[in-house]
Structure 1
Amino acid sequence: MHRVKINIGLPAGRSVKGPPGQRSIRNCDWKGSREAPAGKDGAMPRTIGIGKQDFEKIRVNNNFYVDKTRFIKEWWERDDDVTLITRARRFGKTLTMSMLEKFFSRKCARRGELFQGLFIWNEEKYRKLQGTYPVINLSFANVKEKTYQTTVQRIGQLLADLYNENRFLLEGDLLSEEEKAYYRSISMNMPEVTATMAVHRMSSFLARYYGKNVIILLDEYDTPMQEAFVDGYWNELAAYTRSLFNATFKTNPYLERAIMTGITRVSRESVFSDLNNLKVVTTTSEEYADCFGFTKEETAESLKEYGLSAQMEQVERWYDGFTFGRVRNIYNPWSIVNYLDRREFGLYWTNTSSNSLIAKQIQEGNRELKIDFERLMRGESLEVRMDEQIVYDRLLEDETALWSLLLASGYLKLEDYRIEGEGTDNWTPVYTLALTNLEVKLMFRTMIHNWFGTVSSDYNDFIRGLLQKDTDAMNEYMNRIAVSVFSFFDTGKNPSKKTEPERFYHGFVLGLMVDLADSYEINSNRESGFGRYDVVLFPKRAGLDAILMEFKVRNPKKEKSLEETAQEALAQIKEKRYAEELVKRGIAPECIRSLGFAFEGKRVLIEEQPYSFLHFPHE
């Protein structure tokens, strides 16, 4: 786990300790001990099993578990044919599917002790329902292949495993000879037309054997789709998945009910075009709002069990922030469980994924997207008009698709939701979004810093040159990094030579935030004077100058050289009176620095003058 020293304001009497570079805050009253104190009512707390997703093992071993069996009752009584539930990763989706399998499956009949003492076991109706249905439980969580062919093979392997688990169906005369031949043809290398019907036909076999229609569970349905988008075989996989889902969930007379879980709601046109019996539950839905993740009350009880109630305020700062439907203050369960186990704050949930898809979209996004992202990093919120369903083949063209992806993935929280023009033909859903919590913010800081670390080991030389007014060092660094970064970092899908340098810089300023955020408030594209400045650094403490930055791409028809372009940038700072906001904050003109950045292709020139030298027009 990457570590960085962070001051989070622990209660009096506690301190932050650890080796250099450590990103964890240990509660010092534990003194490094791995043995927990007595929990609530004096009983020893349950053992925490990190990463356990098998409901039976958790219950048999009496591991830490927050009772979510109310979901069984709520889902069963809603009586929907096929339910798609989207939640961020590590929010208990897989454990929920395991719980459903152990509750409904005929293979788990007479295993009621697994549910004794839990909510669902309070009603006789549900005690009688336990272990009475054939269940097909599949997971696409590990289908992360680089090509379409290997993805289809991997899914074929999962289907072959399903058939091998139920080979008892081949005994006797339940199946015809033709059906037995089909059964034996199921393998990882079977034809696609065979594979797409495999779950459908297994439903038929199980329904006939048990005399009851099947319940189908499909966990992480969208994992292979995300990989397909990143690796360039989205269209082929969408067609395959559409056929598989149609046969499994739509034209399947042996289906009792089904649940699919995933991170994103893939667009209906992509894979669900034939499923008119699909109930979709997303971040804004009221259904099952408190069934995934820990509520504030559940988190408080968990902390109490492990003697950590005093840390509730800091736990909230780090891991709270999720909202589902109207239920606010949902806590990230993966981070909570890890915190209970390690007794130190850290980036647990955000370090469980490569975040490659998110990073790709931000890196290749346009200037406006980066400005919006800077606002999020400063703790501001955004008002976005978007559709929660993800159209993967539009991610690179449609900025709102990225916000949908970030919300579904848990990196943004929903602060408000409303419908504009409700009841009219022009109705539009409007979402107010912000970074979810401290853990997410620190994850993005690390991600941004790493972008620059991959192309140059002397990134701090630029920061040092900026603070020491060494334009020679800044020019040397910028020209070196421009050559290596423009083609790697921020050119977008269809860049133009005119906008490429400015796109680069607004990506670069995110990197500046990582190392300067403690000393400066960094704003960009804000109104001041008679226009909008590009970037302003407001000092947070005495002894630091304010810094104004303006960027211009050389126009050969107007400027003879980069020097003239840089001077034009400096002149614009004067003419537009960009320092007006700084002066209103009480910063003296002699404490304001002006930097003009001139770009031409991959050449950069930075020139600096004191703002007072530009003859600040006093009021």
Structure 2
Amino acid sequence: MKINIRASYDSFRELRENNSYYIDKTDLIEEFLIDKFDKAVLFARPRRFGKTLTMTMLRDFLDIKQDSRHIFNGLKIMKNAEVVRDYMNKYPVIFISLKEIFAENFDQILENFRLAVSEICKGFDELLTSERIMDDDKNIITLLRNQTANTSNTIASIGLLSRLLKTHYNKPVFVIVDEYDVPMAKALDSPAYDKVRDMIEHMLSYVCKTNENVKGVILSGCLYTVKNSTYTGVNNIIPYTVLSPNFASAIGFTDENVRKLLEDAGLSDRYDTVSEWYDGYFFGREKMYCPWDVLLYVRSVLDGSYSEAMGPESYWVNTSSTNQNLIHGFLGKTDDVTENFEILLAGETIECPVNEHVPYHLIHESGENLWSALLETGYLSKAATEKARVYPLRIPNKEIQIVFRQEVWDYFKDKVDNKSVKELKNALWSEDADSAENAMNQLLEATLSFYHEYHEYSYHLILDGFFTGLGYMVDSERESGYGRTDLIIRDTARKSCLILELKHVKEEAEMENALKEAKSQIVRNKYESRLEYEGYTTRLQYGMVFWGKKCIIGKVTGN
């Protein structure tokens, strides 16, 4: 079956009118409006899970200025005649996206917000000619359209529009704010952050507080950041995060959705690959996939651009730089966090308390906040489906493993001489343990100053980052032979690999004996056996022993 995949569409109307492949998620409309309605809600999901498409779907269904029957034709929601009769194109809707509201300073951010408000107001010409609207209000609307309104009126503009639209149509308004937290995320390391946060919370407070002009407020974003605000209106928002059982499958692809997509594309035999690379998320109790990744993978196979030799790509990593500082802000600073990173990169789980409410400015105040933010933004997933205070967390899939490793490398690359990294790489592949040792010691001098204490996992993370940055596939603490080897560095194109066993000692005098033990352990546990089975013809094995900023390296020369 030939299917038309256009993954870049985030407008529901545009997607439907261009006959693009669509996984029917319209049952959310009934679930929200009838079964679980609340006056103000937040749908919090990681990026590229389809938040904007969901928000525009709700807009297009409700908007009184549209005729949307044809774009919903054949979809689940059309089977509910009552919902269609009472809600479809029956309410005024204010839709604003904040995803482009960022800049170098607050004045420019405010100007960008003014521009967004101006465009919204230009969509309501009827207010300027309405006999129900007072002249003073029309004058403010004109100022907002011209981007000449003062700051107070600009921030209060959505509240004003809701009042005027209620007056004009004699119906309460739905307010939809897409990507509400992007301005705060983008301003996190900027002096403008506090002003940006205040602006967003103040704007939302005008519509979320007790307001008879508003039927409902629907927000989308990555994090639930607005709570305990000085603006009491935003404290009324009900959050539906990745931990919430309600609406768990509303945004993103379920396993059933993915199987149906692959079947429709004639690619059912690729399910295991898609699952290995792109699933692993649990929202509420539902197993979920990132739609962006799955759609781009399927499209690449269908259009012939997919390389069987290279394998699946990591699409998610290139979609945003906003969340990089989540990881960078903690690497090397606290031993428990650094150790947990290494545990995660080894494919294992960590047990952590999780807080659904994490303001951006508090993310780096504790490990709990960091893990919570990484969970909410898609870097981690819970490994259990039941809601709890403490969750087992893990990296969800192979793609995010690569993302994690790449960001570890991004953290280290500005702190080291790339020439030394390449010298280490070349020496190991050339079986020159002495040169590798010299290069490693230079690198340790540069990197370990960023750690308070030295532990075996610190060295794991450094080497993991180095080789990921050079483009290799890295396996950490992988089951091999009769035991677990510390690091396997794979050159898949050349079918070559490095097997590294790491030891850390507390005294310099212990280093030589530890090196003998590392090399003996490699041979004794037959670490290379699985790699040989997988077809790796060149398998170079090294023991590495670390004491502070000193390293000694020895090559295993025989079995």
Same fold (TM over 0.5): yes
| Shift, 1:349, TM fit | 2.4
Matches within 5 A, 1:413-432: 413-416=381-384, 429-432=389-392
Which residue, 155, 171, 187 being the options, matches 2:129?
171
Cα 1:470/1:439, change in 2 over 3 Å = same
Contact 1:207 1:214 in 2 (8 A): yes
Work out the CA distance in 2 between the residues paired with 1:580 and 1:195. 70
Work out the CA distance in 1 between the residues paired with 2:340 and 2:420. 28
Cα 1:512/1:55, change in 2 over 3 Å = closer
Q: Report Cα offsets for 1:80-119 as digits up to 9, x if no partner.
A: 00011101111111111111111111111x4312212111
Q: Mark the structure with the bigger radius of gyration.
A: 1
Q: Report Cα offsets for 1:259-293 as digits up to 9, x if no partner.
A: 00001111513577543432110111111111111
Cα 1:340/1:244, change in 2 over 3 Å = same
Work out the CA distance in 1 between the residues paired with 2:542 and 2:122. 72
Work out the CA distance in 1 between the residues paired with 2:357 and 2:133. 41
Which residue, 396, 404, 416 being the options, matches 1:444?
404
| Uncovered stretches (5+) of structure 1, i.e. residues with no partner | 1-38, 40-44, 421-428, 529-534, 553-564, 612-619
- 2:237 aligns with 278
- 2:531 aligns with none
Work out the CA distance in 2 between the residues paired with 1:435 and 1:368. 17
Contact 1:550 1:573 in 2 (8 A): no
Q: Report Cα offsets for 1:433-461 as digits up to 9, x if no partner.
A: 11111111122233334555554145232
Q: Report Cα offsets for 1:3-62 as digits up to 9, x if no partner.
A: xxxxxxxxxxxxxxxxxxxxxxxxxxxxxxxxxxxx1xxxxx332223112212222222
Work out the CA distance in 2 between the residues paired with 1:123 and 1:544. 60
Matches within 5 A, 1:368-379: 368-379=336-347
Work out the CA distance in 2 between the residues paired with 1:310 and 1:536. 33
Q: Report Cα offsets for 1:202-237 as digits up to 9, x if no partner.
A: 111111111101000000001111111133432222
Cα 1:207/1:451, change in 2 over 3 Å = same
Instruction: Specify the SS of the correspondent of 2:336.
Output: helix
Contact 1:215 1:257 in 2 (8 A): yes
Matches within 5 A, 1:283-362: 283-328=242-287, 330-343=288-301, 344=306, 345-354=312-321, 355-362=323-330
Contact 1:453 1:459 in 2 (8 A): no
Which residue, 59, 62, 69 being the options, matches 2:19?
62
- 1:116 aligns with 73
- 1:424 aligns with none
1:155 aligns with 2:113: yes
Work out the CA distance in 1 between the residues paired with 2:230 and 2:291. 30
Q: Report Cα offsets for 1:129-187 as digits up to 9, x if no partner.
A: 21110000011112232222222221121111111221331115332222122222225
1:213 aligns with 2:180: no
1:456 aligns with 2:415: no
Work out the CA distance in 2 between the residues paired with 1:579 and 1:274. 64
1:550 aligns with 2:504: yes
Instruction: Specify the SS of the correspondent of 1:138.
Output: strand
Work out the CA distance in 2 between the residues paired with 1:542 and 1:481. 24
Matches within 5 A, 1:21-420: 39=1, 45-77=2-34, 78-108=36-66, 110-128=67-85, 129-186=87-144, 188=147, 190-269=149-228, 273-328=232-287, 330-343=288-301, 344=306, 345-354=312-321, 355-363=323-331, 365-416=333-384
Contact 1:361 1:402 in 2 (8 A): no
Larger deviation, residues 58-67 vs 458-467: 458-467
Work out the CA distance in 1 between the residues paired with 2:200 and 2:102. 15
Larger deviation, residues 171-180 vs 330-339: 171-180
Cα 1:122/1:272, change in 2 over 3 Å = farther
Instruction: Specify the SS of the correspondent of 1:229.
Output: coil
Work out the CA distance in 2 between the residues paired with 1:581 and 1:198. 68
| Shift, 1:386, TM fit | 2.4
Work out the CA distance in 2 between the residues paired with 1:221 and 1:292. 16
| Shift, 1:68, TM fit | 0.7
Contact 2:351 2:391 in 1 (8 A): yes
Cα 1:391/1:573, change in 2 over 3 Å = farther
Work out the CA distance in 1 between the residues paired with 2:289 and 2:182. 23
- 2:534 aligns with none
Work out the CA distance in 2 between the residues paired with 1:543 and 1:506. 17
Work out the CA distance in 2 between the residues paired with 1:57 and 1:609. 61
1:606 aligns with 2:551: yes
The sequence identity of aligned pairs, in percent, is: 25
Amino acid at match of 1:104: L
Work out the CA distance in 1 between the residues paired with 2:325 and 2:258. 30
| Shift, 1:467, TM fit | 7.0
Cα 1:581/1:539, change in 2 over 3 Å = farther
Equivalent pairs counted in the alignment come to 522
Q: Report Cα offsets for 1:476-502 as digits up to 9, x if no partner.
A: 434644566568xxx3xxx7xx54899
TM-score, L = length of structure 1: 0.75
Instruction: Specify the SS of the correspondent of 2:132.
Output: coil
Work out the CA distance in 1 between the residues paired with 2:327 and 2:264. 38
Instruction: Specify the SS of the correspondent of 1:218.
Output: strand
Which residue, 508, 514, 518 being the options, matches 1:566?
508
Contact 2:345 2:476 in 1 (8 A): no
Work out the CA distance in 2 between the residues paired with 1:520 and 1:91. 27
Q: Report Cα offsets for 1:463-484 as digits up to 9, x if no partner.
A: 4445777565345434644566
Cα 1:198/1:273, change in 2 over 3 Å = same
TM-score, L = length of structure 2: 0.82
Work out the CA distance in 1 between the residues paired with 2:441 and 2:318. 33
Q: Report Cα offsets for 1:59-84 as digits up to 9, x if no partner.
A: 22221111111000000012200011
| Shift, 1:584, TM fit | 7.8
Amino acid at match of 1:430: V
- 1:4 aligns with none
- 2:532 aligns with none
Contact 2:244 2:283 in 1 (8 A): yes
**RMSD over aligned Cα, in angstroms?**
3.7
Instruction: Specify the SS of the correspondent of 2:107.
Output: helix
Amino acid at match of 2:284: G
Amino acid at match of 2:91: Y
Work out the CA distance in 2 between the residues paired with 1:586 and 1:296. 38
Instruction: Specify the SS of the correspondent of 1:402.
Output: helix
Work out the CA distance in 2 between the residues paired with 1:305 and 1:249. 42
> Which is richer in helix?
2
| Uncovered stretches (5+) of structure 2, i.e. residues with no partner | 307-311, 528-539
Cα 1:177/1:321, change in 2 over 3 Å = same
Contact 2:473 2:489 in 1 (8 A): no
